[in-house]
Amino acid sequence: MPQTYAIGIEFIGTNYRGWQRQEEVIGVQAVIEYALTRIANEPIELIAAGRTDAGVHAGNMIAHFCTHANRTPYNWLRGANSLLPDDIALRWLVPMPSDFHARFSAIARRYRYITLNQPYRPALLHHQVTHEFAPLDIQSMIAASQQLVGTHDFSSFRAAACQSNQPIRTVSHADLFMQGAYLVLDIQADGFLHHMVRNIMGTLFAIGRGEMSVDELMPLMHAKNRSLAPPTAAADGLYFINAYYPEKFQKLLPKLPLTPLWLNLP
C-alpha cells in the first residue's frame, strides 16, 4: 500500500499564478510536484488544504501526497528543497494515516493579511505586504471586522469566478490589530470563497479611509451583491498560515513558528 505524507510548505507567491497546477502558467503545486516526483522516481500528485490566488503567500500551507517510494523524512525534505526555487521551501514532512486528506479532512483554515501603514513605501518587504500610506481609522475597522464573525452568506465578498457550490461560511474569528506600523487581519473560517479575504480587506480599507461607515457593512453583506462592495485588496499582503484537522490528525502535525516571524505576532 502507498504511504500518505503530510507536508508543510512556505512560499512567496509573487512569481506564481496561485497554487493550482495550470497548463500555460506556473503554479506552486506543479513546481513542488516536479521536485517530489524526482525524489520518488514515480509521478506525485500533491493536494493542498486550500488554493491560493496569484501573488498570495503561505507560511504553513498543508498538503499531502501518496507514494510507494521508501525514503526517510530527512531525505524527502533535503532532496526536495535542493530542487525547489528559492521562493518555495518544504518546512516539514510526516507520515500520516491513509485516510488523511489535506483538503477534505480540514475543519478550518486560517489567513493573515498584513498591511504596512506608513507614509513611505517599503523596499525590503516589496510584494510581501500591502502598503497603505494614508492614516486609517483603525477602531472603525476593528468594529467592522467583528461583525464578520459567525455564519453568513458572503456573496458580497465572492469573486465572480468563484466555483464554490454555496456562499455560506462560518467565521470563527476575525481579529484586526496593530503591531507597530503593521495592521494585521487574522481570520479563520471553515472555508473561504474565491477572493473572500481580499474582498473583505478591501471593504475594511474603505471604512478605514472614511469612504464607508461601519453601519454599512451588514447591509452590504445582506445585499449578497459583489458589485456593491469596494475594490479587491492587493494579493501582496495575504498569507495562508494554517489548516486545522480533527484531533486524530492534528496531534500528528508539527507545531512550528511561522516565517516570516512577524506572522506570529502578537
Is 61 in the same domain as 165? no
Residues 6+ apart with CB under 8 A from 153: 167, 168, 221, 224
- 198 vs 56: CA distance, rounded Å: 10
Q: What is the tens place of the pLDDT at every residue in 203-238? A: 999 999 999 999 999 999 999 999 999 999 999 999
Is 119 in the same domain as 224? yes
Residue 174 has pLDDT above 80, yes or no: yes
Q: Judging by beta carbons within 10 Å of its beta carbon (0-12, 13-18, 19+), is residue 262 exposed, middle or buried?
A: middle
Most confident of 16-25, 97-106, 254-263: 97-106
Q: Is the dihedral of CA 56, 260, 256, 199 positive or negative?
A: negative
Q: What is the tens place of the pLDDT at every residue in 69-119? A: 999 999 999 999 999 999 999 999 999 999 999 999 999 999 999 999 999
Specify if 59 maps to a domain. Answer: yes
Is 147 in the same domain as 80? no
> Catalytic site residue 153?
no
Specify if 37 maps to a domain. Answer: yes
Specify if 249 maps to a domain. Answer: no
CATH of the domain at 79: 3.30.70.580
Q: What is the tens place of the pLDDT at every residue in 21-67? A: 888 889 999 999 999 999 999 999 999 999 899 999 999 999 999 99
* pLDDT on residue 262: 67
Specify if 245 maps to a domain. Answer: no
Is 118 in the same domain as 57? no
- 49 vs 87: CA distance, rounded Å: 19
Is 92 in the same domain as 114? no
Is 70 in the same domain as 191? no
- How many alpha carbons lie under 13 Å from residue 203 in its C-beta half-sphere? 28
Structural domain of 232: 108-240
Specify if 257 maps to a domain. Answer: no
Helix H or strand E encompassing 199: helix 196-208
Q: What is the tens place of the pLDDT at every residue in 138-149? A: 999 999 999 999
Catalytic residue among 53, 190, 215, 236: 53
User: What count of residues does the chain have?
Assistant: 266
Specify if 24 maps to a domain. Answer: yes
